[in-house]
Chain A
Amino acid sequence: MRILLIEDDELVADAVVRGLSLAGFTVDHAPSAERGRAALGAEHFDLAVVDIGLPGADGLALLGALRSEGKAMPVLILTARDTLADKIRAFDLGADDFLMKPFEQAELAARCRALIRRANLSPSGIVRLGRLTIDLSGHQLQIDSQSVELTRREWLVLESLAHHIGRIVTKERLMQALAGWEQDLTPNAVETHISRLRAKLGPAAVIRTIRGLGYRLDEVGEAPP
């Protein structure tokens, strides 16, 4: 998976290039928006990590230009400015994620992985998550290439979670997903389906409960230790 890092600070850029390489990505580096744009025009990248504070045209201007050219590749915005206005503008311009400096390398790598996975989701409809292979169009779940039978409701829960790997899916959302199939749905019913799904996934994947909020599908070992 190929990432283009557009960052002018050498210390940060050097560390990120090496850190993401260690995490298994192929990383190219451009020190300015102009060089970055040239690279993006010439070659294919799965993801761009763009700093806002660049010399000349800034990262947000670059993002705007990319989106107006119709480039839909995922973009993660890095910034040292923490004004909410920047954040809102970044998302308005079509940023997929936003990370504040300073950050942890593991966190950056996890977010890059999640963004690329999400971007690659739609065409194939297949999500790979550690030992899991989730075929969203075929409604199939495999663990280590072994098919696992899921009930319709368990599948709906897994599908919702798989669409947002690494992100919290609220209980309300899961209830909405199940609403067409179950009358008089209670929050307890969601919990029941989650625990059955957990039993079927076994140690191959973790569905975390975030108290009062919802659930998050994590790859085993992917969540920070």
Chain B
Amino acid sequence: MMTIRRRLLLLLLPALAILMLLGGVVDYWIAVATTRNAYDRALANTAFALAANIRIENQRLRFSPPDAGSALDGSTIYAITGPDRALISGTSTLSGSAPSASRAVGRATFWDIGLQGQRWRVASILTPTALGPVQITVAETLERRARTQRVMLLGKLLVDFAELDLTLLLVWIAVYYGLRPLDQLTEQVERHSARQLQRFDEARVPGELRSVIVAFNRVLELLHDAAQAQQRFVADAAHQMRTPVAGLLAQLELLQHEPRATAVATQLGAVQRGIQQLARSANQLLALARAEPVSALHENFKPVALKLLVEQLVERYVDRADKAGIDLGADTLAASVLADAGLLEDLLENLIDNALKYTPSGGHVTVRCGPDARSAFLEVEDDGPGIPEAERGRVRERFYRLPGSSGIGCGLGLAIVDEIVRVHGAAFSIGGGSQGRGARMRIRFP
């Protein structure tokens, strides 16, 4: 769809241009009429001036032409005729052209004629003398007025053009700034990630957009409620599943210590592994649900000290690593990221759990964290079998397991990591270990 800004400009600019053009045409006609009147008056004045040069000598009308360089230049001709219509002085062809209606004393009459292949403007007056009225006719070519009109038109057009440009510029600026609130709202919405379900401030939105924002806020509220409901559900589900599993495992552990259990030790071990697998799967599914965008809320994001987190988790897994004959260690530098601490714990648990699961006895697992060029990183490296390059993309898929991997695990660990990484806008790379074997899982925070 066309942007509102373009739409407004498309509607406003041509209309404005046409208006300005019409204005120009009217201005032009006013200019033409004004020049004509001014020139006509000047022409009539010339005729009145000539009238002053008429005198009576011996009962005869005499006319002495004015000096050259006065009102009568090359482009002006005249004719003076007596009461008997005889030419007293001037150009004879001009004297006969007067329409008969023009013979009124004191007032000038004007008309156009063609003479010597040119257009002329003619002014004529009757001036009374003792011997009767004398007609004085003066004509000038239209060339002079045309020149003036051309200059006026050009000037007018230049002014109009500048006015048009300025108007268009002002309109463009007005439209641009008038729609700034829209841009600001767009920016706000863009910055509003789907997981940060905060309401927009309705008071800080222009009236036209308020109802849109009110509706938008309602949707956000619904999403927020849904996210909270999902979080509650996950917590409840966790409780409902873990308690009986905890009971079963605790009972089983006691059973295994009883003397009569030695006879069925293998079976008990299998049952225990099965329940542990069940517990792990339930945990993993819940962790995955927790990490999903709909339930991971940005309002839970707080600064998390990575060094402390790594130290706590390494401490938690040290005994398990010991049992498996793996040297679990840390290599930490202080770094802080804005994150959901619970989810980061899930993430690191899964990475460490994976590393411990696939690293054989005698191996090493190292958890690292620290600042990097952008912000901070988390890393878990092992010297186990590693992940073949071709599989590094697929292992992040849910329930995907490396071909030939042993029975432990349900294939959700890296999918959870991937999901949590995405919620945090971080990058997750799977590489080879630094000693040429093993795997290195690296999370880089934005």
The chain A residues found within 8 Å of chain B, CB to CB, are: 9-12, 14-16, 18-19, 22, 53, 80-85, 100-107, 167-168, 170, 208, 210-213, 216, 223-225
> Are A212 and B250 closer than 8 Å at their CB atoms?
no
- Main secondary structure on chain B at its contact with chain A? helix
Q: In the complex, which of the residues B241, B247, B342 contacts A9, with contact meaning CB atoms closer than 8 Å?
A: B247
> Are B329 and A225 closer than 8 Å at their CB atoms?
no
A19 to B244 Cα, complex, angstroms? 16
> Are B323 and A225 closer than 8 Å at their CB atoms?
yes
What are 23 contact pairs spanning A and B, CB under 8 A? A11-B250, A11-B251, A12-B250, A19-B253, A53-B243, A80-B239, A81-B238, A82-B242, A82-B342, A83-B231, A84-B345, A100-B242, A101-B242, A102-B242, A102-B279, A104-B253, A106-B253, A210-B314, A211-B328, A211-B330, A213-B311, A213-B314, A223-B322
Q: Does B163 contact A (CB under 8 A)?
A: no
Q: Does B327 contact A (CB under 8 A)?
A: yes
> Are B330 and A103 closer than 8 Å at their CB atoms?
no
Q: Does B319 contact A (CB under 8 A)?
A: yes
Q: Does B315 contact A (CB under 8 A)?
A: yes
Determine the chain B residues whose CB is within 8 A of the CB of A210 once the complex forms.
314-315, 318, 328-330
A107 to B248 Cα, complex, angstroms? 16
Produce 1/0 per residue, B219-238, CB < 8 A to A. Answer: 00000000000010001001
Given contacts A19-B253, A102-B246, A212-B366, contact A168 B311 (CB under 8 A): yes
Given contacts A82-B238, A101-B242, A224-B322, contact A213 B315 (CB under 8 A): yes
Closest to A101 in B: B246
Q: Does B27 contact A (CB under 8 A)?
A: no
Determine the chain B residues whose CB is within 8 A of the CB of A216 once the complex forms.
318
Q: Does B391 contact A (CB under 8 A)?
A: no
Q: Which of B339-388 contact A (CB under 8 A)?
A: 341-342, 345, 366
> Are B246 and A80 closer than 8 Å at their CB atoms?
yes
Given contacts A83-B235, A102-B279, A210-B329, contact A9 B253 (CB under 8 A): no
Determine the chain B residues whose CB is within 8 A of the CB of A84 once the complex forms.
341-342, 345
Determine the chain B residues whose CB is within 8 A of the CB of A11 once the complex forms.
244, 247-248, 250-251
**Besides the known contacts A11-B251, A216-B318, 20 further A-B residue pairs in the complex with CB atoms under 8 A apart:** A9-B244, A9-B246, A11-B244, A11-B247, A12-B243, A80-B240, A80-B243, A82-B283, A82-B342, A83-B235, A83-B342, A84-B342, A102-B279, A170-B311, A208-B318, A210-B328, A210-B329, A211-B327, A212-B366, A224-B322
> Are A102 and B250 closer than 8 Å at their CB atoms?
yes
> Are B254 and A19 closer than 8 Å at their CB atoms?
yes
The chain B residues found within 8 Å of chain A, CB to CB, are: 231, 235, 238-251, 253-254, 257, 276, 279, 283, 286, 311, 314-315, 318-319, 322-323, 327-332, 341-342, 345, 366
Determine the chain B residues whose CB is within 8 A of the CB of A101 once the complex forms.
242-243, 245-246
A85 to B302 Cα, complex, angstroms? 12
> A84 CB to closest chain B CB, in angstroms?
4
> Are B250 and A105 closer than 8 Å at their CB atoms?
yes
Closest to B244 in A: A11
Closest to B276 in A: A102
> B325 CB to closest chain A CB, in angstroms?
12
Closest to A103 in B: B246
> Are A223 and B342 closer than 8 Å at their CB atoms?
no
Q: Which 9 A-B pairs have the closest CB atoms?
A: A211-B329, A11-B247, A15-B250, A101-B246, A84-B342, A80-B242, A212-B330, A102-B246, A12-B247
Determine the chain B residues whose CB is within 8 A of the CB of A18 once the complex forms.
254
> A219 CB to closest chain B CB, in angstroms?
13
Determine the chain A residues whose CB is within 8 A of the CB of B319 once the complex forms.
107, 223-224
> Are A81 and B329 closer than 8 Å at their CB atoms?
no
Determine the chain A residues whose CB is within 8 A of the CB of B249 once the complex forms.
102, 104
Given contacts A9-B243, A101-B245, A210-B329, contact A19 B235 (CB under 8 A): no
> Are B332 and A212 closer than 8 Å at their CB atoms?
yes
A132 to B314 Cα, complex, angstroms? 27
> A5 CB to closest chain B CB, in angstroms?
12
> B101 CB to closest chain A CB, in angstroms?
107
Q: In the complex, which of the residues B253, B329, B332 contacts A15, with contact meaning CB atoms closer than 8 Å?
A: B253
Closest to B231 in A: A83
A85 to B173 Cα, complex, angstroms? 52
> Are A16 and B250 closer than 8 Å at their CB atoms?
yes
